[in-house]
Amino acid sequence: MAEQFGSVGEVVERLREVDYLSDESIAGVVYLADRLEKPVLVEGPAGVGKTELAKAIAASTGSRLIRLQCYEGLDESKALYEWNYKKQLLRIQADREHESDWTEVEADIFSEPFLLTRPLLEAIRAEDPVVLLIDEVDRVEVETEALLLEVLSDFQVSIPELGTIVGKQRPFVVLTSNNTRELSEALKRRCLYLHIDYPDVDRETEIVRVRVPEIDVELADQVARVVQSIRALELKKAPSISETIDWARTLLYLGKSEIDPETIGETLHVLLKYQADLAKARKEFAAEATAAR
């Protein structure tokens, strides 16, 4: 992997050019990952911009983003490669009339035209600059995590029928985790660690202004402060940054220039997606409105 960034400051600037507001700690880890050619493990609550960071790195460096979305039950055939069994069967059936030697048929059906490349193998074989995003790695089983370890260690994979495929370059690798389970020490040891939390009021205000440029400063500040107060409640799912942005756009579409209790009540569903959370937030805002009278 060729070096993409010349300094921490350059990381901040180039990520900002693609509308990702990075602080020095985030930029520092990205810069070191670039120089050390090590994966970045990004942990933090859902919706704080972990996935967006990988997308922003790809956009800012002109790299192709390859995404492996992790889920329970993900195995080698979906992460790495598998053979196109239907196509192989058709090849075998078509060859029955010719009565070809089985060794010849076998060599044919286990060749490149019958190989289905999945994200990990695609990243290994890529010749152009690539950012490999392994999203929500904490959702996979330990066995699949071991597969990721093997690939991330050497960036090569052995396919019994084809031999060992060695990567021509090392992609920039970002693994994200919502910390739903503890990852292995072996995986963490191979990565640089980055924790991203919800931004403070000033940074979230700035994010809103960047992503919703038509909003004025005062309304953006009000949006950020209300969202911060909602996150302070004990909720099943706190509003994400993307939901903050959606709420800001909603207010503009409704022609709102300021936020009042009635507006919050009418649009709270944009921020919260569980009935219990909506009820708790409405009760809290109603109590604040009563106390302010």
Q: What are the pLDDT digits (tens) for 77-112?
A: 899 999 988 988 888 877 776 666 667 777 778 888
Token digits of residue 174: 């970002």
Collapsing DSSP to helix, strand or coil, 18 comes out as coil
Q: Which domain range does residue 264 map to? A: 201-292
Domain final position from 195, 223, 258: 195
Q: Are 45 and 195 in contact (CB under 8 A)?
A: no
Same structural domain, 176 and 221: no
Same structural domain, 27 and 163: yes
The answer to whether residue 38 sits within a structural domain is yes
The answer to whether residue 2 sits within a structural domain is no
Average pLDDT score over the chain: 90
Q: How many domains does the chain have?
A: 3
Q: What are the pLDDT digits (tens) for 106-165?
A: 777 888 888 899 999 999 999 999 999 999 999 998 888 888 888 888 888 888 888 888
Question: Stretch 228-251: mean pLDDT, rounded?
Answer: 95
Q: CA–CA separation, 28 vs 9, rounded Å?
A: 9
Is pLDDT larger for residue 96 or for residue 39?
39
Same structural domain, 141 and 253: no
Domain final position from 143, 168, 195: 195
The answer to whether residue 277 sits within a structural domain is yes
Same structural domain, 129 and 253: no
Q: CA–CA separation, 81 vs 42, rounded Å?
A: 26
The answer to whether residue 130 sits within a structural domain is yes
Domain final position from 89, 117, 145: 117
Q: CA–CA separation, 203 vs 206, rounded Å?
A: 5
- Per-residue pLDDT at 90: 83
Q: Are 156 and 43 in contact (CB under 8 A)?
A: no
Q: Are 271 and 278 in contact (CB under 8 A)?
A: no
Same structural domain, 63 and 165: yes
Same structural domain, 27 and 136: yes
Same structural domain, 211 and 268: yes
The answer to whether residue 281 sits within a structural domain is yes
